Amino acid sequence: MKDVEILLGGPMPPLVMDGVATSFTAHRPWEAADPAAYLAGIGPRIRGLATSSSHGRIDDAYLAHLPRLEIIASYGVGYDSIDVAAAARRGIVVTNTPDVLTDEVADLALGLLLATVRQLPQADRFLRSGRWLEKSFPLTATLRERKVGILGLGRIGKAIARRCEAFGLPIAYHGRHRQDDLPYAFYGTPAELAAAVDVLMVVTPGGTGTRHLVDASVLQALGPTGILINVSRGSVVDEAALIRALRDGTILSAGLDVFEDEPRVPSELVEMEHVVLLPHVGSGSVHTRNAMGQLVVDNLAAWFSGKGPLTPVPETPWAGRTA
């Protein structure tokens, strides 16, 4: 398949770049003296694109440079940086990397919840600063007698729910549809869910349809003992409203792995002692990132060998899809 030319949208893990280069003719425009001119020159020959959300928006204007493009293989489960509708109009298949990161992100979500409720980073800083020599660390909130609301009960949301059940925590959820085969309470709006729970776990996809889904009204409903955990996309939460809610005591605390303008995190959040902040590391283990990278390569290899994509996103225009 070396006659197939693949564009790498930006720097990617070595497993992806090496895997693409081994099987295809790979192009790295960011290494060129004039990336725009380089892309203009190779664009008409490109048949596959390997990309990730960190590479920027893949929209109709971008796709216009790639008239022969057949497939976009995205590194990550979220694909809100890709205009899938624009790709569909051009007959381009879009794939992502689901399942292989589900357990890793779910593990991180529970770790972030525990760290936020029991103030584990704060306790670590307390000890390291020598303050334990002066007094005991203050008592914290608890998971006991809390109910967890999951906003977005997809693959990762269900994995989080199973872990919460192991902790003995009641589960409720909101999503686009009620899932009648599940034993959890369903609420029709995010605000109704927030009002019924003590922890709001945000796991919904990003994109225009979920932008600021968690707004001031949802945070008000969550209440002064409520905790917000976000492991989805920063765009889902109105960050300015969240800062006000944390500052004013509208909610108790928050654990955040994602932000609206990554890697730039508002100084107001950084300066808050009662929140836990992580640098978008939900899937950030060597094992899982390797599995994600291999799936990007495998999707390209499957497509160009005539087998069809392995993990097409639901909106993709592929007649042979079975899921």
176-185 long-range Cβ contacts below 8 angstroms, 24+ apart:
179/153, 182/153, 182/158, 184/150, 184/153
Do 130 and 219 sit in the same domain of this protein?
Answer: yes
Residue 210 lies in a domain: yes
Do 76 and 130 sit in the same domain of this protein?
Answer: no
In angstroms, rounded to a whole number, what is the distance separating the alpha carbons of residues 223 and 239? 17
Do 184 and 243 sit in the same domain of this protein?
Answer: yes
Residue 322 lies in a domain: no
Q: What is the pLDDT of residue 93?
A: 97
Would you say 219 and 242 are in contact if contact means Cβ atoms under 8 Å apart? yes
Do 53 and 136 sit in the same domain of this protein?
Answer: no
In angstroms, rounded to a whole number, what is the distance separating the alpha carbons of residues 300 and 6? 9
Residue 321 lies in a domain: no
Residue 40 lies in a domain: yes
Do 82 and 136 sit in the same domain of this protein?
Answer: no
Host domain of residue 96: 5-100+286-304
Do 130 and 192 sit in the same domain of this protein?
Answer: yes
DSSP annotation of 137: P
Q: What is the pLDDT of residue 71?
A: 98
Domain count, the chain: 2
**Structural domain ending residue among the three candidates 260, 277, 294:** 277
Do 262 and 295 sit in the same domain of this protein?
Answer: no
Residue 22 lies in a domain: yes
Would you say 3 and 25 are in contact if contact means Cβ atoms under 8 Å apart? yes
Do 132 and 234 sit in the same domain of this protein?
Answer: yes
Do 245 and 178 sit in the same domain of this protein?
Answer: yes
Q: Render each residue's pLDDT in the chain as its tens digit; 323 residues.
A: 889 999 999 999 999 999 999 999 999 999 999 999 999 999 999 999 999 998 989 999 999 999 999 999 999 999 999 999 999 999 999 999 999 999 999 999 999 999 999 999 999 999 999 999 999 999 999 999 999 999 999 999 999 999 999 999 999 999 999 999 999 999 999 999 999 999 999 999 998 999 999 999 999 999 999 999 999 999 999 999 999 999 999 999 999 999 999 999 999 999 999 999 999 999 999 999 999 999 999 999 999 999 999 999 998 877 565 44
Residue 90 lies in a domain: yes
Q: What is the pLDDT of residue 322?
A: 45
Q: What is the pLDDT of residue 323?
A: 41
| Residue 168 parent element (H or E) | none
Active site residues: 233, 262, 280
CA distances from 168 to 161, 162, 163, 195, 203 (A): 11, 10, 9, 20, 20
pTM for the whole structure:
0.91
3-state secondary structure 191-225: HHHHHHCCEEEECCCCCHHHCCCECHHHHHHHCCC
Q: What is the pLDDT of residue 320?
A: 60
Look up the CATH number of the domain holding residue 31.
Answer: 3.40.50.720
Do 117 and 71 sit in the same domain of this protein?
Answer: no
Residue 291 lies in a domain: yes
Do 258 and 293 sit in the same domain of this protein?
Answer: no
Residue 312 lies in a domain: no
